[in-house]
Each structure stands twice: as C-alpha cells, then as structure tokens.
A and B are shown apart, each in its own frame.
Chain A
C-alpha cells in the first residue's frame, strides 16, 4: 500500500476511535458530578447558587477533555497536515 492510501486509512480510523473512546470518560464523570450535585441540592436547597456555580465550573473542566479529543478528530479529518503534505508532493511531481 502506498503512502497516500496508508495515511488516509489510518487517519480516518484514528479519528473515529479518538472521539469514541474519548467521550466515554467525560460522560461518566459528568454523570457522577451532576448526581452528586443533585443530592446535595436536595439536602441544602439554600446553598443552591453556590452548588450550581461550582457544578457548572466542574462540568466545563470535565467537558474540556472531550473537547480535546474532538479537536484532534476534526484536525485529522479536515486539516490533516500529513495528508496535505502528501497531496502537495503528488501534485508537485
């Protein structure tokens, strides 16, 4: 298999696997965070604003892991540097 085909195959498979595996962890983490926040809201409703704000900040930090994986996947599919390099070589020849 030549270079171009190999790069394309591996990029596409890796992009899919990255986002698939990379969203499992954050989803589980966010589920636990929200359930703990809900139970503490039920125990102390007058601390609602503090709990809600802390919950949102925590969710954003957990979400950023999934965003890192999404950015890598997008780069692999749409702005793949190795693919562009190989295309430039092929059209330059």
Chain B
C-alpha cells in the first residue's frame, strides 16, 4: 500500500526523481497562478464586478481580516506569505474530489518544506520589525535561563507543524483506502467527506499558527 505520493515515480535520472508529489505541486501552482492572473487582468471598481473578481476579493479581504484579528497591525506586509500558505494547502486538500488525484500535502517532503519556510519567515519578519538586536533579545525573555527552552520550542513547533499536516492528510487517504477493501460503496464516502473537512481545517490551522508565531515575533515591547 502506498504511504505517500512520493513513491509514485514518473521519471528517474541518477538521483533526480520526478515523483507524483512534484508533478502535482507544479500543476497546482500553474493552475492557481494562471487562474488568478486571468481574473485580475481587468480589475474594475464599479458597482457591478464580475463573479470571479468578487470571489477573489472575498478571499483576500477575509484573510486580511483574520491576520488583523490575530494581532498583526499591517496585514498587507504578511498577506503574501500567509495567504499563499492557506490557499496552497486548502486547494491541494480540496482537489481530492478529483478522481485519481493524490494530495501533495500527504507527503512529508511538502509539509516539511512549508514548515521550514515558516521557520525561516518568523525571524525574517521579526528582524524586519524589531531589528537584529531587538529580535535576538526576545529570546532572553522572560529571563536569560529560558534561552535553551525558547530555542527548543522554536524547533519543536516547526516539527509539529510538519507532522500535524502530514499525519492528518496521510491518515485521511489511508483510512479511505483501508475501508474500500472492507466495506465499499457507502462507508468510505463518509470518511472521504471527513477528509475534505479536516483538509480545510488543517489549512486554516497551519496559516493561523504561522500568523500567531509571526505576531509573537513582531510584537513591539513598547505596548
């Protein structure tokens, strides 16, 4: 039984491997980029806007509102990174409706890459906001004895982000596969629906946690 889409290899040359994860990720990126470019080619500000522009406006303003509610005061700066995280994970989990599709987030490589990008982004935004000294000093809060624990907590929450997303999506697809061999026809459909729901919830959780980590790193000590 195939555990992750990494094991489905299309082409191999030496140590370069083209597996299902990479192909699916690139196809998703292409579809989302080309789709949003097509929609935003002619933006209008009249009362009557096209359906697709309205849909994109809803998505962007909702994400901006969520970022602002968590505590980041200039959501435009972080909208690119956090919005991309949410939309990529949500679209890749939602496309499980398409038959024969394997979600790239069900592979530990994709989720580790996303978690590592959050791990790099948090100091980046923190240093941008507070300067290098201010950000490094935040590791010594509340006392300097907490320095190793703060570092360990940074590493462990990155690990937890990756494993949480991977475990949820992989177990969702595996449960459906196992149920198909035991009781086909009706019962796997419920697990499939549950898998779609958890996919959306996990996308929201991943981006909200990234937002909370960035907000904790950029919180100015003046308040």
Contact = CB atoms under 8 A, between A and B. Distances in A.
Q: Chain A's interface: helix, strand, loop or mixed, by majority?
A: helix
Nearest to A66: B167
Interface string B148-171: 000000000000100110111011
B212 interface: yes
B170 A71 contact: yes
B197 to A, nearest CB: 12
A64 B204 contact: no
Interface string A59-84: 01101100110110011001100000
B171 A56 contact: no
Q: Chain B's interface: helix, strand, loop or mixed, by majority?
A: helix
B205 interface: yes
B201 A64 contact: no
B164 A74 contact: no
A57 interface: yes
B84 to A, nearest CB: 20
A67 B3 contact: no
A46 to B, nearest CB: 14
A61 B3 CA distance: 24
B112 to A, nearest CB: 14
29 contacts: A53-B208, A56-B201, A56-B205, A57-B205, A57-B208, A57-B209, A57-B212, A60-B164, A60-B201, A60-B202, A60-B205, A60-B209, A61-B160, A64-B163, A64-B164, A67-B163, A67-B164, A67-B167, A67-B168, A67-B171, A68-B163, A71-B163, A71-B166, A71-B170, A74-B170, A74-B174, A78-B3, A78-B174, A79-B3
* Those 7 A-B pairs whose CB atoms lie nearest each other, nearest first: A67-B167, A60-B205, A64-B164, A71-B167, A79-B3, A70-B171, A78-B1
